[in-house]
Amino acid sequence: MSASSKIDIRSLTLDQLVEQLTSMGEKTFRAKQVYEWLWKKSAHSFAEMTNLSKELRALLEEKYEIHAVTIATQQVSKDRTIKFGFRLYDGHLVEGVLIPSKDRMTACVSSQVGCSLSCKFCATGFMDRKRNLTGDEIYDQVVLIGRAAMEHYQIPLSNIVYMGMGEPLLNYSGMMYSVDRITSPDGLGMSPQRITVSTAGVAKMIKKLGDDGVRFNLALSLHAANDAKRNEIMPINETNNLDVLAEALDYFYQKTGTRVTFEYIVFNNVNDSIDDAAELYRFWKRVPSKVNIIEYNPIEFADFVNTSDEKLDAFIAYLEKKKVIVNVRRSRGKDIDAACGQLAIKN
């Protein structure tokens, strides 16, 4: 059987795997053992499955393949952030990041090769979208980053953010499959409350998250609470404007009971005035939410500049006076282009 005609074994559900292995004359429990190797023990080869007979391993090798993700490059920042270049089975590269902080160890993972949304402040937005990642490719990033956390810092992974390359809600099935495998008791068993999926604002799919009753956190890359400004920064706003997003986000909250986080990068002389803060406050009132203020990380394709400390302090003070919950997120890994908005494969 040629490599191209082999089945990607991690694309099969447990029921499908049981069906295939029993049709080969194997007992049901063998399929469960294989499934455990794939998802609990994160095996990347059939040779690792040592409680299976050599004959069965050879049969699996002949019929199936594992599209394992490997680490192609690794850079460590002076602030201990680690950026990974992950090679996919077909040769494509994506990036992921391990972000260590005082009270958590966070994996930032990618969901697409490139991105189709062209946000003006994001390096990935200047790349073409080549394809969606499969759920197992997203899962592998989490596993590999988690191993690095233990190897470098002896601390297990505590959080996962889907804030790497790509728009997760435009890879809905891959994203959801990966969350299932990461959170399921027969997978990695992580709590969904420790996962945050970040979207540029795909209203239809935000509602679908509500209908599907997801238990993970949702973050919206907002960056302007004014349609004209947001259209300029994020072209997706032209088809998913603030009114449409507010309705979708409120629907999500009504269905899940989970408050949304608004991510807001404060650019100098773009969205950093007190008027901008007032617009953000008015939008915040429409949806149960909190606000993360994010430092801008310059990229070579864009002319944006970080706001001044004085303007930032005034912006935050205005929101806090209005009783908005505000967190300021300082950038990590800037010296290795691993910070928010900087991920891009440089050939």
Enumerate the active-site residues.
Answer: 95, 340
140-170 burial, b if ≥16 CB within 10 A, otherwise e? Answer: bbbbbbbebbeeeeeeebbbbbbbbbbbbbb
Beta-bridge partner residues of 282: none
Instruction: State the residue for tokens 């809905």.
Output: 172
- Dist CA 184 CA 191 (whole Å): 9
The terminus-to-terminus CA distance of the chain in angstroms comes to 34
Answer for the pair 86, 143: CB distance below 8 angstroms, yes or no.
no
Handedness of CA 144, 165, 75, 219 (dihedral sign): negative
Q: Where are the alpha helices (DSSP H) in 167-241?
A: 172-183, 203-211, 227-233
Q: Which amino acid is at 45?
A: S
Q: Which amino acid is at 197?
A: V
Two structure tokens written together for 56: 């069965």
Residues in the chain: 347
